[in-house]
Amino acid sequence: MVKENEPCGGLEWRMNMPDGSSKVLEPECISESRYCRALKGLFARFVSTIWGFIRKAWNLGAAEPKKVMHCLKVGMALSLVSLFYYMRPLYDGVGGNAMWAIMTVVVVFEYTVGATLCKCVNRAIGTFLAGALGLGVHWIACQSGEKFEPIILQVSVFLLAAAATFSRFIPSIKARFDYGAMIFILTFSLVSVSGYRVEKLFELAHQRLSTIAIGASICILTSMLFCPVWAGSQLHNLIKNNMEKLADSLDGCVADYFKNDTEKAQDSNKVMLGYKCVLNSKATEESLANFARWEPTHGGFNFGHPWKEYLKIGASLRSCAYFIEALNASINSDQTAPDFLKDHFSKFCIKLSSDASAVMKELAVVISTMTKSSKIDLMIEEMNSAVQQLQDAMKSLSKQPIASSVTGIATIVEIVPLVTASSLLIEIVARTENIAKAVNGLAEKAEFRVESDTKTKESQNQKVITEEHKGDKKTMMTLEK
Amino acid sequence: MVKENEPCGGLEWRMNMPDGSSKVLEPECISESRYCRALKGLFARFVSTIWGFIRKAWNLGAAEPKKVMHCLKVGMALSLVSLFYYMRPLYDGVGGNAMWAIMTVVVVFEYTVGATLCKCVNRAIGTFLAGALGLGVHWIACQSGEKFEPIILQVSVFLLAAAATFSRFIPSIKARFDYGAMIFILTFSLVSVSGYRVEKLFELAHQRLSTIAIGASICILTSMLFCPVWAGSQLHNLIKNNMEKLADSLDGCVADYFKNDTEKAQDSNKVMLGYKCVLNSKATEESLANFARWEPTHGGFNFGHPWKEYLKIGASLRSCAYFIEALNASINSDQTAPDFLKDHFSKFCIKLSSDASAVMKELAVVISTMTKSSKIDLMIEEMNSAVQQLQDAMKSLSKQPIASSVTGIATIVEIVPLVTASSLLIEIVARTENIAKAVNGLAEKAEFRVESDTKTKESQNQKVITEEHKGDKKTMMTLEK
């Protein structure tokens, strides 16, 4: 090998250019060392890509340690189930069918307990139904002679697979039994088709069911006993967080509009755009609510907790978020109202938005503490009186022209942005009342506790913030205002 | 059995009530016939439920015959793959591993070609990688003695399963290789664990790969050759339809507002609420765009068609839909402007909304015909001049009070709903321009045809409506206006 930077035997070819400069022609040995450098560069880029990927993954893991825990749980469940292979007495019990237990663990183990339970139940029902039906069809095929047997089996596979596939398009089945329908097709095909060859069908069915039961129970135990992630709690927290984000966005938007340009802080942008998460959370909410139904009692949630009410709250949050989007856009538009008008309106608008966001935050506390609030009605009344004040302010504009040192009287075109923002704010208040109604519906159906009198007095000076610490143990922190 | 309606031996027990009426005490035999009736009732309800379900399914099938076709295709693919069991020469070739071919078909066959291809590629790559790694680990474990073998295997299963599970949380991997990661875990566990028992590992791996290849190719062929449903075409049509729905909703909302109460038709409600589909189509669009990338050239779409541009158009459509939601709500609010003001504004607002919806409809035609429009710039200019007219109308309000036979002069509170609706309309126009930009971006990247001059003249009198007939054969229908 030629070492880098070493002249290639001292010989040099030089080419003189017309402009007086000269260029050294590179002999092969130097270009070879170039290849080395290019290779090194490639390798360095590869390493840096990998390193970037690892760092990204590390950040993800640090941000959500529950996800890392889930990965370890999957590894643990697989190690547990693979013991069936290594331990002679266990292996002799289930034989080569231990494969199905591994497959069950890999396919069924999901992030939340509810999703895991849903898949387990689906897999068990699908396998059992299809197995029974497959054995029935196999028996009928056996009775009808050797000639018709494959025909009957083929036709039955075709018809049932088509019917089960069609059922997966029906929304009510898709929501709950999509996986079960797939397992049904799989098991029915395997049983009815392999029945043609394998003689000991009953034994096969029995072994398959028992290995699936082993895999499923390992999954359920692992997911429920070690740092369980409940779909219900996730949904509960998602709704609560979305409500807080909405409140912060509303506050941020309105405050930003009435601030002077110099006061506007760049870092408030992230808070202001929090409502965007709410716009796109429908699918997540629906799947979480769907899985939460399967979960047993945990934390403060009983089996049969009214999860559908959370979807209603989510829908009302979203319909409020649409208006915040509209408000945000109209605030960022080119048209701006003259400053003296802004000053006139600012206190009413800021009062209204802070009232509305206080209601939302109180509702978030209601949800997170699962306690009915005694002051929410008062707060809504106050919010509505703020609406009245804003409307009065608009009325006063028409009656007595506002004096300004420069323009004298405001024209209609000048007040358009303010009128639009104000009426959007009023719409947001109406939406906030809808959110309150939806939360009230949840509080009634889930039988939230009623705040005790002593607590009420305390809560006027203190704000209760609930944080979920490790699992579902809830620690109450009281922060002085 | 006791027949119904037959008196039970003629004996009757009668109870006289205080109010003079009397009641026959029912002997057991009559209550038995009651049970019969209750059972019949139950049976009837069961039959009617089933009947209702069948009718619902029939309607679904009639509405989307492509879904029925998909079901038949799944049945066909399964019948094809089960031939491996029935035909002696084929069965001898692959043996009991034919099971994996069936499993592949059931698990991999999806509604669209792109989804099927994506899953096939994922399954193949996942199986191959995990198989190779599993064999490697197995070889290392073999070298390290009988005592360490199970330990090494267990630890490797634990670590790799945890790592692969974690990778499924990383968004970029989740979007494309979620299924592949699952298959990786499954195959690696099966190979490394069962390797401890099964001696002929290489043969097993070879057979598994070949059966998966058989299953996957049957899936791909069936899904591509018989009435293929392309994710790309689906996305293309979804975006086009959403754009048309948005245009219709906008037209409907504004027309509805300015109509008299007597004119308002009930059936227009469905058209007006078309924009609601647009609000919730983000997830569908993203998954279709994700699958479309895997599809080969079909219809007018090449491999490498800029599918991401459709997502941009979708996002701009949604941001427009938020404003239509706000407009719809402010139009349905209790506050209504006085009639004389409505009349004054109606022609400007209706002109503006019909201009904006015309632009959207033209953009939908651009997408569906994949031809750049020569008149779109003119239409946008016209729309912007309509904005100017509306703004002028608002200005004129402040300069010369509008005469009305009843009130004389409008107060600011009275014009609030109109001002809000107008400024929302103006925002919608800005959003429509964004949609036009996004469509233009698609037209540039996908190299849409340019409308020829002769066609331009024709198109002034005729409107081109494209319909997709059976598969991707496009028939152009010209309808005289």
C-alpha A14/C-alpha A414 separation (Å) is 75
* Whether the model pTM is above 0.80: no
Gap from A61 CA to chain B (nearest CA, Å)? 9
Decide which of A113 and B147 is more confident: A113
In this prediction the ipTM stands at: 0.78
Residue B253, pLDDT > 60, answer yes
- Residues of chain B with Cβ-Cβ distance to A91 below 8 Å are 197
pLDDT band per the 50, 70, 90 thresholds, residue A6? very low
Residue B410, pLDDT > 60, answer no
Gap from A77 CA to chain B (nearest CA, Å)? 9
From A75, A102, A158, residue closest to B190, measured CB to CB: A102
Gap from A467 CA to chain B (nearest CA, Å)? 24
- pLDDT tens string B441-458: 998 888 888 876 445 444
From B68, B85, B430, residue closest to A194, measured CB to CB: B85
Radius of gyration of chain B (CA): 34
Cβ atoms of A193 and B82 closer than 8 Å: yes
Two structure tokens written together for A227: 């740092």
Two structure tokens written together for B186: 């499954």
From B79, B166, B170, residue closest to A68, measured CB to CB: B166
- Residues of chain A with Cβ-Cβ distance to B190 below 8 Å are 99, 102-103
| Percent of the residues in chain B that have a pLDDT greater than 90, as a whole number | 18
pLDDT band per the 50, 70, 90 thresholds, residue A436? very high
Mutate to test the interface with A, among B58, B82, B154 (most CBs of A within 10 A): B82
Contact A325 B329 (CB under 8 A): no
Contact B106 A333 (CB under 8 A): no
* Residue B428 CB neighbours (<10 A): 27
Contact A423 B427 (CB under 8 A): no
Contact B102 A70 (CB under 8 A): no
Instruction: Taking residues A260-283, report their average pLDDT.
Output: 72
Contact B82 A412 (CB under 8 A): no
- Residues of chain B with Cβ-Cβ distance to A97 below 8 Å are none
Check residue A115 and give its pLDDT.
92
Check residue B172 and give its pLDDT.
83
- Residues of chain A with Cβ-Cβ distance to B401 below 8 Å are none
Instruction: Taking residues B458-462, report their average pLDDT.
Output: 46
- Give me chain A's average pLDDT, please: 78
Sole residue written with tokens 């068990």: A124
- The helix/strand count (H/E) of chain A reads as 17, 6
Contact A85 B197 (CB under 8 A): yes
Mutate to test the interface with A, among B218, B413, B431 (most CBs of A within 10 A): B413
Contact A325 B322 (CB under 8 A): yes
Instruction: Taking residues A228-233, report their average pLDDT.
Output: 90
- The helix/strand count (H/E) of chain B reads as 17, 6
- Residues of chain B with Cβ-Cβ distance to A394 below 8 Å are 412-413, 416
Two structure tokens written together for A473: 């143990």
Instruction: Taking residues B126-145, report their average pLDDT.
Output: 86
Check residue B469 and give its pLDDT.
39
Which of A225-239, A458-472, B450-464 is the least confident region? A458-472
- Residues of chain A with Cβ-Cβ distance to B146 below 8 Å are none
pLDDT band per the 50, 70, 90 thresholds, residue B8? very low
φ, ψ of residue B276 to 5 degrees: the values are -65, -30
Nearest to B73 by CA among B189, B218, B236: B218
pLDDT band per the 50, 70, 90 thresholds, residue B317? very high
Check residue B464 and give its pLDDT.
36
Chain-centre distance of CA A428, in angstroms? 25
Contact B86 A196 (CB under 8 A): yes
C-alpha A122/C-alpha B370 separation (Å) is 44
C-alpha A72/C-alpha A67 separation (Å) is 9
pLDDT band per the 50, 70, 90 thresholds, residue A418? confident
Two structure tokens written together for A397: 């504009």
User: From start to end of B338-460, where are the E strands?
Assistant: 371-372, 449-450
φ, ψ of residue A376 to 5 degrees: the values are -65, -35
Gap from B59 CA to chain A (nearest CA, Å)? 11
From A82, A162, A279, residue closest to B71, measured CB to CB: A162
Query: What does the DSSP assignment read for A347-360?
Result: HHHHHHHHHHHHHH
Contact B82 A153 (CB under 8 A): yes
- Residues of chain B with Cβ-Cβ distance to A70 below 8 Å are 165
- pLDDT tens string A107-166: 899 999 999 999 999 998 998 899 888 888 888 888 888 788 888 888 888 999 999 999
C-alpha A383/C-alpha A433 separation (Å) is 10
From B106, B411, B427, residue closest to A186, measured CB to CB: B106
Residue B391, pLDDT > 60, answer yes
Residue B341, pLDDT > 50, answer yes
Contact A157 B333 (CB under 8 A): no
φ, ψ of residue B352 to 5 degrees: the values are -65, -45
Contact B79 A190 (CB under 8 A): no
From A57, A75, A419, residue closest to B419, measured CB to CB: A419
Check residue B315 and give its pLDDT.
92
- Give me chain B's average pLDDT, please: 79
| A–B interface: beta-carbon pairs under 8 A | 217
- Residues of chain A with Cβ-Cβ distance to B150 below 8 Å are 86
From A75, A394, A420, residue closest to B413, measured CB to CB: A394
Contact A416 B397 (CB under 8 A): no
On the CB side of A259, CA atoms within 13 Å amount to 14
Residue B400, pLDDT > 60, answer no
Contact A158 B79 (CB under 8 A): yes
* Residue B262 CB neighbours (<10 A): 5
Mutate to test the interface with A, among B106, B156, B182 (most CBs of A within 10 A): B106
Check residue A400 and give its pLDDT.
46
Check residue B312 and give its pLDDT.
92
Contact A157 B193 (CB under 8 A): no
Check residue A477 and give its pLDDT.
33
Nearest residue in chain B measured CA to CA from A283:
B283
Residue B27, pLDDT > 60, answer no
Decide which of B458 and A344 is more confident: A344
- Residues of chain A with Cβ-Cβ distance to B67 below 8 Å are 166, 169
Decide which of A414 and A28 is more confident: A414
Nearest residue in chain A measured CA to CA from B410:
A398
From A196, A399, A412, residue closest to B395, measured CB to CB: A412
Query: What does the DSSP assignment read for A160-214?
Result: HHHHHHHHTTSHHHHHHHHHHHHHHHHHHHHHHHHTTT-S-HHHHHHHHHHHHHH
Quickly list H helices, A259-306: 268-272, 275-279, 282-292
Cβ atoms of B247 and B436 closer than 8 Å: no
Check residue B14 and give its pLDDT.
64
pLDDT band per the 50, 70, 90 thresholds, residue B95? low
